[in-house]
Amino acid sequence: PKMTLLANYQVPRYLVDEALLHFDLDKSKTRVISTLKMRLNPESSAGECVLDGESLDLISIKLDGKLLSDSEYEVNSKSLTIAEVPEQFELEIITEIHPDQNTALEGLYHSGRLLCTQCEAEGFRRITYYPDRPDVMTVFTVTIVADAKQWPVMLSNGNLEEQGQFNDGRHWVRWHDPHPKPSYLFALVAGDLYCQQDHFRTMNGRDVTLRIYVDPENKHKCDHALVSLKQSMKWDEEVYGREYDLDVFMIVAVNDFNMGAMENKGLNIFNAACVLATPETATDDDFYTIQSIVAHEYFHNWSGNRVTCRDWFQLSLKEGFTVMRDQSFSADLNSAAVQRIDDVNGLRSMQFAEDAGPMAHPVRPDSYIEISNFYTVTIYEKGAEVVRMIKTLVGDEGFRKGTDLYFDRHDGQAVTTDDFVKAIEDANSVDLSQFKRWYEQAGTPELSVKTHYDPVQQRFSLILRQSCPATPGQENKLNFHIPVAVGLLDSDGNNMPMQLAEEVTPYDGDTRVLSLTETEQTFEFIHVSEEPVASVLRGFSAPVKLKYDLTNKQLAFLMGRDTDSFNRWDAGQQLMINVLLEIVDDIQKQNTLALSPLLLSQLEAVLNDEQLDPALVAKMLTLPTENYLAAQMPVADVDGIHQAREFAKRQIAISLKPLFNARYESLSKQKKYQFNAEDMAARSLKNLCLSYLAATDDPLQMQRCLRQMKVTDNMTELLAGLRLMVDQAGPEREHALRAFYEQWKHDRQVVDKWLSVQAVSKLPDTLLRVKALMKHEAFNIKNPNNVRALIGQFCRNNPVHFHAKDGSGYRFLAEQILVLDKLNPQVAARMLGALNSWRRYDLERQELMKASLEQIATQKDLSADVYEIVTKYLA
Ligand code: HT7
Ligand code: ZN
């Protein structure tokens, strides 16, 4: 497979002004007639015309109405080349494709009783020959013809222009999208779908029809997505001044989908699991995720579609910005503190690991083999942090001025991350040239903090230092521009003044953002009447690893007193990490184990604090995951960490049992399910209390889980009960699992939860169970959601079994990857991610993981997707 380099970017030689696509739909053989009005790009020079195309049966090509003979063009497995074309011409290309043989789920494919497309990043070339790159923007008109009975609904981008009926039972529709767009935003859907409709009146008084299309059995599951869509449309008008620009906005739910959702212009296609919800079938987390994904895809209409990417190296231009936008939408609609905690938790556990591993790449990468492998947490989540830092640096108003200029200046264009930064710079008269290194350099910078207090001068110095580890291909890093938000607390937990020595007037505010641009800088605060505790990196103002040697006592103080909610939680997490790693150390030394009374008393105080948002209480009482703890050790001790975490959880549960009991009971007042921040917070704390109570090993607590499962009206509480029961061997467990399946076997979203809870079970025979479940009627290896729920959950979220010392988990993963690679390379490559950190384990495990990687690497005919990752892991 060949490498694509940013440095080799060239403008497209030929542009497509108009594309008329005609589809004769059939699930086993679809005929596509593509008529392209093309012309030489004035920025390029004449030459052969090369179109991308893969897995296509070429039927014929006409150039300006004349049929081309075989000698006038060349076709290979990747492209079609026409040696000579005039400056302006019309191409008509007829191809045939086979949707029901398409298990890769790229291009046009068959899913259940649906036909649908997925074109990002390079799927359009599996539909017809085309310059399949984002900087070729075209006006599309799409005609679809198909049997009216089998495919009563036929959708594409834009507005419906015309439709009609033929005498032979077929019907046709014509869609026209007036907005020029790249081919990756093309979409087509056909099937027998139920449609739920609503309306939105835009800020300029235009009426937009909103439609959600789902399989008829899911018609009761659309309400939440529709509400979320209207909330998103309103928010984007209010916060970014962005109005929707077509008469109709459609969402379609599909069961077989490689990712979460896709922002095709006017016709978003969603993984059914990311759009369908009722209280009985979806958890609070699902409701929350659906709200944010609906928003994310909708926001792409401006950040991605109206202004798109010049090339795929610029992917974070749309993804980082759009994630940042969906995160602030969720923060505005729910709890801002909880949102930030979840975002940072996700970033630290996934992105920091990616940045420290063999696939580390900058937010704007400079090479790739398979672009599908670069839809990563670095591009998305770190990209969002980078945009968030820009906002922190220029302020909310400055950022809005910058985005207004960006949208105005580049509407209808395909641009770069440099263009984005330039718009913010120009609107604010700031220089972000050093800041741009965040786009160019991979790796997580370390920010170390030292302090010094001079009681005589009443001066407090904060000495900040930065460094960044080497990453593949980038040995030496230049200094970043790091915004460090800081507060100072006195011994009572009050904010202290923050006037810098060089300033003549006091600083007005409790938190101030310092810019660290050198390797080391000292910030000196004056009029500091007592030695403060510094609360550094408030709100996680930059995606860095903080090295700040606070004592456990100081951490406990910040956990109890910091006025910044995020840092309160973060201090608690750091305290838990310190305590848990000490226990791991004691386990390794075979010492007797004990839990820190300091941590216990802090947790007790949090649990007793009736003023604190229960959602925050739940977050503060949640121990770091085993995976995250593993990432904090020089050599991850899988078994020690598992044992230490189980021990700590049990000790906390036993010591605070009466409190967990009391809060559980007080939160158990029967109340009809509603999706709102307050009720969600109550359910999260209630379920957390139950999980601690279950950790006491008291058999009565299992009865409590069962009771909760019986009386509840919602999946959040039902699944929480089942999860706990699944960790306890015995007939109750088997009965609960059987009953759950019998009740829900008709519902794919719920069945995936049933697979997942079993995949992450702590019981010793879990791998055997997972293998047995692969033969169950509920599992189909061609369905990505099934694969993620069972194989993905086992390999990523069951570390103690996946990393079993005998290597069984690794062998299992390798076997599955080789099977999956033949069916769906994107999904296979994603599964490999479970081995990202393989060099961080003990030598024995490293050998076993390496053997599995080598087994994969030596397989013949690997996809580019798996090849790229496995070779980078082994390099
Ligand atoms: N922009 C979308 C990315 C996406 C995708 C990429 C590769 C293969 C399949 C895919 N499905 C969706 C989703 C988003 O970020 O909004
Ligand atoms: Zn996106």
Looking at all shown ligands, the one closest to residue 317's CA atom is 2
The residue contributing the CA closest to ligand 1 atom 15 is 319
Amino acid at 577: I
Residues 6+ apart with CB under 8 A from 293: 260, 261, 270, 274, 275, 326
297 is catalytic: yes
Strands 367-368 and 520-526: unpaired
The predicted structure's pLDDT at residue 671 = 86
Å from CA of 431 to ligand 1 middle: 32
380 Cα nearest atom in ligand 1: 15
**Closest residue (by CA) to atom 13 of ligand 1?**
262
Of 108, 109, 262, 270, best ligand 1 pocket probe by most atoms within 8 Å of the beta carbon:
262
Q: What atom in ligand 1 is closest to the CA of residue 323?
A: 15
First vs last C-alpha separation in the chain: 16
Residues of the chain with pLDDT under 50: none
> What gap in Å lies between CA 748 and CA 760, rounded to an integer?
19
792 DSSP assignment? I
Q: Tokens standing for 140?
A: 């599309």
How far apart CA 472 and CA 816 sit, in angstroms, is 28
Phi, psi (degrees; rounded to nearest 5) at 422? -60, -40
**92, 106, 122, 297: the active-site residue:** 297
Atom of ligand 1 nearest to the CA of 304: 1
For ligand 1, which residues put their CB under 6 angstroms from it? 118, 120-121, 258-259, 261-263, 296-297, 300, 319, 372, 375, 826
Give the other-Cβ count within 10 Å of 30's Cβ: 23
**Ramachandran sector of residue 279 (left: φ over 0; alpha: ψ -120 to 50; beta: rest):** alpha
Which pLDDT score is estimated for 670?
A: 74
Which residues sit with Cβ closer than 5 angstroms to ligand 2, an ion?
A: 319, 322
Task: Return the sign of the alpha-carbon dihedral for residues 299, 305, 309, 315.
Answer: positive
Measure 372 CA to ligand 1 centroid, in angstroms: 9
**Which residue, judged by its Cα, is nearest atom 5 of ligand 1?**
120
Q: How far, CA to CA in Å, does 608 sit from each of 659, 663, 671, 695? A: 8, 9, 23, 20
**For the CA of 297, the nearest atom of ligand 1:** 16
